[in-house]
Amino acid sequence: MDELDWVSIKSGILEMARKRGAEVARVGDPALLEDAEPGLRPSDLLTDVKSMIVLGGAAPRAAEWQSPRVEVMETVGTADRMAALGSSVARHIEDTYGYYALNVPTSTDQDDKAFLDFKAAAIAAGAGSASLAGPVLDPTYGFLYLTVILTTLPLPVDGPLQEAACPAPQCVEMWDEKGTTPCMAVCPIDDGGCLGGEIQEGLVIKRRYDEEKCRDRVYHYWTPGYQAALERALDEPDARKRKMILYGSFFTRTMWSITYSGVSQGQCFECIRACPVGTEQRVLI
């Protein structure tokens, strides 16, 4: 069999993804994630996996970032678009080239663990770099929703980025002057928030992250909120007070969010709202 032009094939696949809405499209080496917990490695999801295609896109609109009303960002999330694109790319690979391809589910499974560490995949592919705030940040676009396609197609890999997007120059400047960064200032772990850390010689060190608190903010009205309100109701011996809890706005809101999960992916964006990475894309009239 003639050797296929993997470079052209890769180029065609990534270009297709970009035309269909991916802002970022990169290929990573799945071997870089093989030291993950067993069951959560690329080879646990697709035997003989050769490539990880990582796509980033569907970020909230600039107007949504700027809205003074938090319920805007809480209810217009569009993460499902990337999952749909990922499925489409996977099917295209299988139909066109005859190699296995699958779109990794974005949801979590047992013990609330993701099927694959999307952040690690994105970093390995250079579809962004790690941030103090948590989300992977693309140097140009900042925060993007991600999807990962695993395939047995042996595509040439892009590597991790040479330069991290975080900390941004403005953040280094703020750290030098005030001992904090925009994300830490808006959500300080030592003052009821989720984030802490230091910047030394332009690198983030000693990152501190309250995962539980962040989860309760990101999933404010989703399953964790439902569970918390339900627990409170079950612990309440007074039937009238139970009614006030279960019929009340918080529990009702968790139900709407669970029902409309596709637009309730993230219910706290405050660290990224303050982040300067990618803001050039949001300077509109």
Partner 1 sequence: MTTVEGEVEATDPGDLEVVTNAIKQVGINAGATLVGVAAADAFNEYVPAGHRPEDFLPGAQSVVVSASLGPTNAAWQSPNRRLMEITGYDFRENVASIVIAEHIERTHGYLAMHAPALPTSGQQPPLSMMLSAVLAGLGTRSIAANIILNPTYGIMFFAAAITTMRLTPDHQLEENVCPARSCVRMYEMEGKTPCMAVCPADEGGCIDATIENGEITSSFFDRERCSTRAMNFGIRGHIKQVEILTGIDDADERRELIYSDDFRRNMSSIGRYKESVSQCFECMRVCPVGRYRRKLK
Partner 2 sequence: MYSGVPRGNGTTGAHMNTPIERGELNGFHVVDPDLYDRYRAEVLALTNSYQVDINEFLPNDGTRKRGLSDAEIAERLGLDIRDVTEIRVVAEHDEYPIEEYEASARFKDAAAASYQEGGVKNLYKGDPPPTRR
Chain contacts with partner 2 (rule: CB under 8 A): 65-71, 170-171, 173-174, 181-182, 185, 220, 228-229, 232, 238, 240-241, 243-245, 247-250, 252, 273-277, 279-280, 282
Q: Which of 45, 261, 270, 279 binds partner 1 (CB under 8 A)?
A: 261
Cα dihedral 230/235/240/242 (nearest 10) = 0
| Residue 165, SS3 per DSSP | coil
Contact residue for partner 1 among 15, 202, 234, 280 (CB under 8 A): 234
Query: Quick one: CA dihedral 117, 118, 122, 123, positive or negative?
Result: negative
Q: Does 16 bind partner 1 (CB under 8 A)?
A: no
* Contact call for residue 64 and partner 1 (CB under 8 A): yes
Which of partner 2, partner 1, none does 262 bind, CB closer than 5 to 8 A by kind?
partner 1
Q: How many CB atoms lie within 10 A of CB 184?
A: 29
Return the DSSP state at 272.
H
The set of residues, in sequence order, having a beta carbon less than 8 Å from that of 12 and lying 6+ positions away, is: none
Q: Closer CB to partner 2, residue 19 or residue 240?
A: 240
Is 230 a residue that touches partner 1 (CB under 8 A)?
A: yes
**Nearest distance from residue 160's CB to partner 2, in Å?**
24
179 binds, among partner 1, partner 2, none (CB under 5 to 8 A by kind): none
Q: Which is nearer to partner 1, 107 or 200 (CB)?
A: 107
Q: Which residues make Cβ contacts (< 8 Å) with residue 268, sequence separation at least 6?
A: 214, 217, 218, 220
CB of 119 or CB of 217, closer to partner 1: 217
Which of partner 1, partner 2, none is residue 240 near (CB under 5 to 8 Å by kind)? partner 2
Phi, psi of 55 (to 5 degrees): -115, 140
CA atoms within 13 A on the CB side of 78: 15
Minimum CB separation of residue 202 from partner 2 in Å reads 16
Please write down the HEC assignment for all residues of 1-46. CCCCCHHHHHHHHHHHHHHCCEEEEEEECHHHHCCCCCCCCHHHHC
* Residue 284 binds which entry of partner 1, partner 2, none, CB below 5-8 Å type-dependent: partner 1
Residue 254 Cβ vs partner 2, minimum distance, rounded to whole Å: 10
Q: Which does 113 bind (CB under 5 to 8 A by kind): partner 1, partner 2, none?
A: none
Rounded distance between C-alpha atoms, residue 192 and residue 220, angstroms: 15
**Kind of pairing, strands 22-28 and 51-57?**
antiparallel
**Residue 40 is a binding residue for partner 1 (CB under 8 A):** no
- The correct pick among 4, 7, 62, 205 for binding partner 1 (CB under 8 A) is 62
